Structure 1
Amino acid sequence: MLHKIFENRKLKLVIIIVGVFAIYQGLIIALVEVEKHSDSGLGDYSNAYWYSLVTLTTVGYGDLYPTTPNGRIVGGVFVLLSMVFYGTIIGSISTLLHNLKENKKLGHEGTNFKNHIIIIGWDDFGTLVTDQLLGVEKKIGIVTDSKTTIDFINDKYHSKNIFTLYNDYSNLDFYRKINIEESAMVFINLEDDAEKLVFVLNLKKVYPNLKFAVVLDNSELKETFEVAGVMHVISKHEISSKLLASYIFEPDVADYAESIMSFADSDEDFDIKQFSVSLDNPLLNMNYEEAFFKLKKEYNAVLIGISKNKNDGTRELFKNPVIDINIELSDYLIMIINGKTNKVLKALFQVEEGLI
C-alpha cells in the first residue's frame, strides 16, 4: 500500500509538503514555548515567525535571537535548516539546468527541420553517407540508441545542418521529435536486413507517407523491400562488385565513376548533378540537343541525361538520348559539372540541385 502511494508523484509531493510544514510548525511552537518567559521577544508567535524567516533566508538582522539554552538549540536547528534549504534550492537549479542541457543534447526538445534526410542507426557507413550529404548542404537528422554515439557525432560535426536524437528504435511515437513526417527521405541503417524490414513495416503503420531508402547485405531481398514500400533499395555487394570488376579491366573508367559519384570538394572538382526544370529555367521547352551544346559551350557542363514524369506517377530516365526530346516543366536535367559551374547553374536555374 505504501509502495503504491509513493509511486504517485503528486501524492508524494503533497506528503512531503505537509511533512515539512508540520516540522516547521513544530519548531515554531517549541521556540515560543521555551522562550515565552525570556526577554528575547520570541515568546510571541509573530516574532517567532519573523525570526524563522530571516534565519532560513540567511538574512539574520540580529534584532531577535533566542536567549535560553533550549531556545538556542531550536535556533540552531533553524540555521541548519537554512543550509539544507539553500542546498536543496541550488541543487535543484543545478539539476534542472543539467537536465535541460542533456535533453537538448539528446534531441528531446525536438527540431523544426523540414525536407531533411533522416538516418536511423549509426555506424561507419552512416558516417560516410553523412559526409556526402553535408557536402551538398543537406539537413540531416540522425537517430541512435547510444548516448556515446551522440557525443561522437557532436564532436565530429559542428554543423547547424545536423540534428541528433537519442531514442529506443522501437519507440515509434518519439520520432516526431525529429519531425519525421516532414522529412524528404528516411535511410534505414540498422544492423541486419531482417531488422530493417521489420522496422520499415512498423514505421509505415504510424507514418504511412514516408519515403524510405535501404542498403542491403543480401541482394535477394531487394524485391521484398520494394513490395514493402521502400523507394530506394540498394545492394552493397552489387555496387562494390561492379566497381571492382571495372577496376580489374577498366581502371580509368572505375576511377572516373568513383570520382564523379561523390560531391565536388572544390571549384575544379567534377561530379554528377541533377536539376529540376522550373518556369524560370532558360532551357524550358528547348530541344535536348540544343540544350546540350548550349550548356557545354557556355558553362562547360555536359548534359548526360534527362528524367521525365510518366502518367503513373513514376519517372523515366533517358541516358544520353538519341531521340528528339524537348525539355519540359518538372523534368530533371542530369549533367557532369564542376563546383564552379554548379554555383552558376543554381543561380541560373533558380533551384537547388537534387530531388530534396
Structure 2
Amino acid sequence: MEQPGGGASGGRAFGGVEKAGSVIHVLLRLLKRRLFKSPPAPLRVAALLAAVLLYGTTGFLYFELSRNPNLTWADGLWWSVVTVATVGYGDLYPGTPGGRFVVALPVMFFGIGLLGYVLSLAATALIQAKTKELHGMGSRKLKGHLVVLNYPSLAKVERLLAELTRDALFESGTDVVLVDEDLPEIPPELLSRRVHFVRGNPARDETLARASIDDAAYAVVLSKRPGDPHSDDLSVAITLAVEARTKKVHTVVECVDFETQELLRKAGCDSIVCTSRFDAHFLSHELLNPGVQEVIEDLTSSHEGQQIYLTPFRGSAAARFEEVAEASRKHGHLALGVQRGASRQLNVAKDHEVKPGDSVISIGPKRMPPLG
C-alpha cells in the first residue's frame, strides 16, 4: 500500500473517508435489515462480524501506514480483534484522525454489539441443550450402556443402580439411560450417577432409537406400577418392541402377575423376575425359620456380606466338582452347585462332572474370574 504524502495525502485521506463511509452505510443497512426486522441466523451474524474485522483491518492499515510503515496485515487483524473483544492491550492503536474516528469508532460500536450477540447465541444454545437433556427431549448416542425402561419411583431406580455399580461385572463408568413417558424431568439425584433421560413411550420404536437401544448391553424393564398386575401389559409391549429391534441386548423384565411370565418368554426376553412369585416363599420361610429373610437379603444384596454368584467354567475339558470347588476356595468362594442351561443342581457329589460352558453356583464376598 502506497503511503500518503503531501497534497496527495489529503486527497487520499478524503477518498478513504468516502470509502469507509460507504462500508459503514452498507453495514448499517445490513444491521437494520437483519438484526432489527428479524432474528438473524448465527451464520449471518458471523458473516457480519467477519465484515467488521475486515473493515477494521484494512482501514487501520490504510490510515496508520503513513505513521508506522512497519505495520502488516497481521497487525491490523490483531488490532481489530483486540478492539472488538474490548481487551485493549495498547500495543497497537490508531494515531491519525481517520484511524480513530473513521475506523476505530465504528469497529467499537458494531464489533462489540455483534460479538455480544454471538456470545448470547452461544449461551442460549447451551442453555437450550441442557434444558432438552433435563426434560428428555433429545437423543443419546451411546454404546455398551444400560437402558432402564419405566420409572416406578426414585427409590427403586436408585437401589437398582446401587446394586449394579457394586458388582465388578457392571463397570462404574457405564452410562445409564432412563426411559419414561410420564416423568417430566430427571431427578437431580440421578444426574450424579451418569444417568441420561429420554422422555417418551418405551414401547415405541422412535423412543427406543433415541435411547440407542440397538447399541446397549443391558435393558431392564421395571414394572410401571408395582403391585398392579395390569402394569404387566405395558411390560409385555415394551419387551416386544425391544426384542423386535435387537436380539443383542440382554433383557431382564420385572412382572407382577405370575401368569404373565409365559407371555414374556414368548416375547423373547432373556430373564424374568416375578415379584409375586417370591412373596409366599419369603413369608413361609420366615414363619418356619425366623431370621431367614435377613440371610436371603444378605445373599442377594451387594451392599455387604456374602452374595450368590454364577461363574462360567471355561476349561478345555470336563472337571470334577471337587476340583472346581477347590479352585473356588482359592478365591474365597464356597461352591454350592452347577448350572447347565436352564437346569440347576445344588449340593452335588464330589465326582459330579462340570463341563465347559457350565456355570458354578457359589457364595463369596465379590465376583471371581471365570474358572477353568
Q: TM-score, normalised by structure 1?
A: 0.63
Cα distance change of structure 1 residues 83 and 177 upon mapping to structure 2, 3 Å threshold: same
Q: Does 1:336 align with 2:369?
A: no
Q: How does 1:1-356 map to 2 (within 5 A)?
A: 13=41, 61=94, 63-65=96-98, 80-98=109-127, 108=139, 110-112=141-143, 114=144, 116-122=145-151, 123=153, 124-137=155-168, 138-139=170-171, 140=174, 141-145=176-180, 146=183, 148-149=185-186, 151-155=188-192, 157=193, 162-170=194-202, 172-173=205-206, 175=208, 179-191=212-224, 192-263=231-302, 265=304, 269-279=305-315, 285-288=318-321, 290-291=322-323, 294=326, 301-309=333-341, 315-321=342-348, 325-339=352-366, 342=367, 345-346=368-369, 349=371
Offset of residue 206 of structure 1: 2.5
Q: Corresponding residue for 1:47? A: none
Offset of residue 295 of structure 1: 5.6
Aligned residues: 289
CA RMSD after TM alignment? 4.5
1:349 partner letter: L
Cα distance per residue 1:154-209 (max 9 Å; x no partner): 23x3xxxx552434245635645655334443111251222222222223332244
Cα separation, 2, equivalents of 1:264 and 1:15: 54
Cα distance per residue 1:21-56 (max 9 Å; x no partner): 9xx9xxxxxxxxxxxxxxxxxxxxxxxxx9xx7986
Cα separation, 1, equivalents of 2:329 and 2:106: 90
Cα distance per residue 1:92-151 (max 9 Å; x no partner): 333345566667887856333x2x543223322222221111111314523234464253
Cα distance change of structure 1 residues 64 and 193 upon mapping to structure 2, 3 Å threshold: farther
Q: TM-score, normalised by structure 2?
A: 0.61
Offset of residue 327 of structure 1: 1.1
Offset of residue 329 of structure 1: 0.9
Gaps in structure 2 of 5+ consecutive residues: 1-39, 53-76, 225-230
Cα distance per residue 1:218-250 (max 9 Å; x no partner): 222222222222222222222233212222222
Q: SS state of the match for residue 278, structure 1?
A: coil
Gaps in structure 1 of 5+ consecutive residues: 1-11, 25-49, 310-314, 351-356
Cα distance change of structure 1 residues 270 and 16 upon mapping to structure 2, 3 Å threshold: closer
Cα separation, 2, equivalents of 1:142 and 1:15: 34
Identity of aligned residues (%): 12
* Contact kept? 1:264, 1:271, Cα under 8 Å: no
Cα separation, 1, equivalents of 2:273 and 2:41: 55
Offset of residue 15 of structure 1: 11
Cα distance change of structure 1 residues 78 and 246 upon mapping to structure 2, 3 Å threshold: same
* Contact kept? 1:305, 1:320, Cα under 8 Å: yes
Cα separation, 1, equivalents of 2:150 and 2:96: 66
2:352 partner letter: I
Q: SS state of the match for residue 277, structure 2?
A: helix
Q: SS state of the match for residue 149, structure 1?
A: coil
Q: SS state of the match for residue 353, structure 2?
A: coil
Cα distance change of structure 1 residues 297 and 148 upon mapping to structure 2, 3 Å threshold: closer
